[in-house]
Amino acid sequence: MKFASLLLLLIVPSFLVAAFTPEQYIERYRNDAVIEMMEYAIPASITLAQGMLESNYGNSTLAVLANNHFGIKCHADWTGDTYHMDDDAKNECFRKYNDVLESYRDHSKFLKTRSRYAALFALKKDDYKAWAEGLKAAGYATNPKYPQLLINMIERYALYQYDHQIAVNYAPSDSLPLVFLSLNHVKYTVAKRNETFESIAKARQMNLYLLKKYNDAGDSIALHEGDMVYLQPKRRKGTQDSCVVRKNDSYRGLAQKYGIKLKYLYRKNKLVSGSTPSAGEVLLLRKRKQGK
């Protein structure tokens, strides 16, 4: 497999499709990258960076005409649709997908099921630098600069933040067993449709009061499909220094998102309990806010 070979020759003419910007690509596929991370333990930052790099932000011919965002060639075991074009050799066979999400899932399976990538899954899920180096060592790309290209992409667009996030409206695949996940070194599970704190506490033989306390949840807090449910006390600080509030964020939601206790989020930022955040506000997750 060759990293986005001759990208400049593979760009689809502008009259055929509206080009994605890097920011638009991230916004469109970041949640899907997080889902793949939750299902297959591949860092979301790595998946996003590879997708952006290999597909030229979704604008390459292979991406537009074959929905192939990772440059995966057919190989002997591929039985799906194909797309042929010149790459390392003339008229090479590439996998063609019904949609981009199928490409994302096949990329995950490709890494997970091939023995030459096995060493990657012994790495920490948030060690994107080691993953980038490991992909090159395993032969994913021939470009000697491939690891640094991925790392530069991840750091330029802060893709590492998605290695500590949970997908919106995520429900585990029926074919995969639900295991305890971990964020900020705290175990959690993901609420399924119609689950409640009561049903989760009963199923896991936990104290309902403690389960709600772990999740900063009073009686007025209802669970929704895809919500994170911590099974242990959250931490006093997050894994990153700060975060930026987005539209419709709540302080409790951000405390859940980053695995930090709500009261410590308030304390670090000198906030009044029950207040509402403003979009664009920067919240400290590790150090305390200085001054009055």
The CATH code of the domain that includes 272 is 3.10.350.10
Residue 236 lies in a domain: no
192 and 278, same domain (yes or no): no
223 and 266, same domain (yes or no): no
State pLDDT tens for residues 109-118.
999 999 999 9
Higher pLDDT, 210 or 289: 210
The CATH code of the domain that includes 47 is 1.10.530.10
Mean pLDDT, all residues of the chain: 87
156 and 249, same domain (yes or no): no
pLDDT of 183: 76
150 and 63, same domain (yes or no): yes
119 and 263, same domain (yes or no): no
* Residue 181 banded pLDDT, cuts 50, 70, 90: low
The DSSP secondary structure of the chain, one letter per residue, reads --TTTTHHHHBPPTTTSPPPPHHHHHHHHHHHHHHHHHHH---HHHHHHHHHHHHTTTTBHHHHHH--SS--B--TT--S-EEEE-SSSTTEEEE--SSHHHHHHHHHHHHHH-GGGGGGGGS-TT-HHHHHHHHHHTTS---TTHHHHHHHHHHHTTGGGGGG---TT----TTS----EEETTEEEEEPPTT--HHHHHHHTT--HHHHHHHTT--TT----TT-EEESS--BSS-SSSEEEPPTT--HHHHHHHHTB-HHHHHHHTTPPTT----TT-EEESSSPPP--
pLDDT above 70: percentage of residues in the chain: 88
Q: Which domain holds residue 198?
A: 181-230
Higher pLDDT, 42 or 187: 42
Higher pLDDT, 87 or 278: 278
Structure tokens at 197: 């704190």
95 and 189, same domain (yes or no): no
192 and 218, same domain (yes or no): yes
User: Does residue 8 surpass a pLDDT of 80?
Assistant: no
State pLDDT tens for residues 229-252.
999 999 999 988 999 998 889 999
Least confident segment among 15-29, 42-56, 196-210, 244-258: 15-29
35 and 127, same domain (yes or no): yes
133 and 200, same domain (yes or no): no
Distance CA 252, CA 283 (A): 13
Q: What does pTM read for this prediction?
A: 0.58
pLDDT of 71: 95
146 and 255, same domain (yes or no): no
Rounded mean pLDDT of 96-101?
Answer: 93
pLDDT of 13: 46
Residue 175 lies in a domain: no
78 and 140, same domain (yes or no): yes
State pLDDT tens for residues 110-140.
999 999 999 999 998 889 999 999 999 999 9
Count of structural domains, the chain? 3
24 and 151, same domain (yes or no): yes
User: Does residue 179 surpass a pLDDT of 50?
Assistant: no
Residue 66 lies in a domain: yes
Residue 289 lies in a domain: no
